[in-house]
Amino acid sequence: MALAATRTRHPLEPLSVDELAEAVAVLRSGSPAGPWDGRRFRFVDVALREPSKAELLAFDASGGEGELPREARAVLIDRGERTSVEAVVSLNEGRVTAWETVAAGQAPFTLEEILACEEVVRRHPDFRTAMKKRGIADMDLVWVDPWPFGVYEDEADLAHRRLTRGLVWVRSGPDDDNGYAHPVDNVVVVFDLHQMEVVRVEDHGVVPVPAANGNYGPDDTGPARAGLRPIAITQPEGPSFEVDGTLVRWQNWRLRVGFTPREGLVLHTVGWEEGGRVRPVLHRAAMSEMVVPYGDPSPTHGRKNTYDGGELNFGALVNSLTLGCDCLGEIRYFDAALVDQDGTPFKVENAICMHEEDYGTLWRHQNMRTGRTDVRRSRRLVVSSFSTIGNYDYGIFWYLYQDGGIQCEVKLTGILSTGAVAPGETPRHGQLLNADGLYAPIHQHFFNFRLDLDVDGSSNTVWEEHAEAEPAGPGNPLGSAFRTVRTPLRRESEAQQLVDPLRGRVWRVVNPGRLNAVGEPVGYRLVPHGNVAALAGADASITRRAAFMTKHLWVTPHDDRERHAAGDFPAQHPGAGLPDWTAGDRPIEDRDVVLWYTLGSHHAPRPEDWPVMPVAYAGFLLQPAGFFDRNPALDVPAPTPHGDGHCCP
* Active site residues per annotation: 308, 392
Residue 561 near residue 465, CB atoms below 8 Å: no
Beta bridge partners of 593: 557
For the range 362-367, what are the long-range contacts, defined as Cβ-Cβ under 8 Å and sequence gap of 24 or more?
362/402, 362/403, 362/633, 362/636, 363/403, 363/631, 363/633
Sequence-distant (6+) residues with CB within 8 A of 431 are 439, 440, 442, 604, 605, 606, 607
Closest CA to 146 of 126, 170, 116, 180: 116
Q: How many CA atoms lie within 13 A of 286 on its CB side?
A: 26
Interatomic CA distance for residues 500 and 506, integer angstroms: 8
- Cα 554 to Cα 451: distance, rounded to the nearest angstrom: 10
Per the omega criterion (within 30 degrees of 0), is the bond before 471 cis?
no
CA dihedral angle for residue 460, residue 465, residue 471, residue 477, rounded to 10 degrees: 90
Closest among 314, 307, 308 to 336, alpha carbons compared = 314
Element (H, E) at 267: strand 264-274
Report the relative pairing of strands 430-432 and 438-441 from DSSP bridges: antiparallel
Angle (nearest 5°) at CA 15 between 12 and 17? 155
Query: Crossing angle, helix 125-133 and helix 111-123, to 10 degrees?
Result: 70
d(CA 319, CA 338): 12
> What is the CB-side half-sphere exposure of residue 98 using CA atoms within 13 A?
13
For residue 541, give the 3-state DSSP assignment.
Answer: helix
Q: Which of 152, 118, 454 is nearest to 305 (CA)?
A: 152
CA count, 13 A, side-chain hemisphere, 428: 4
Parallel, antiparallel or unpaired: strands 95-101 and 553-557: unpaired
Cβ-Cβ contacts under 8 Å for 34 (sequence gap 6 or more): none
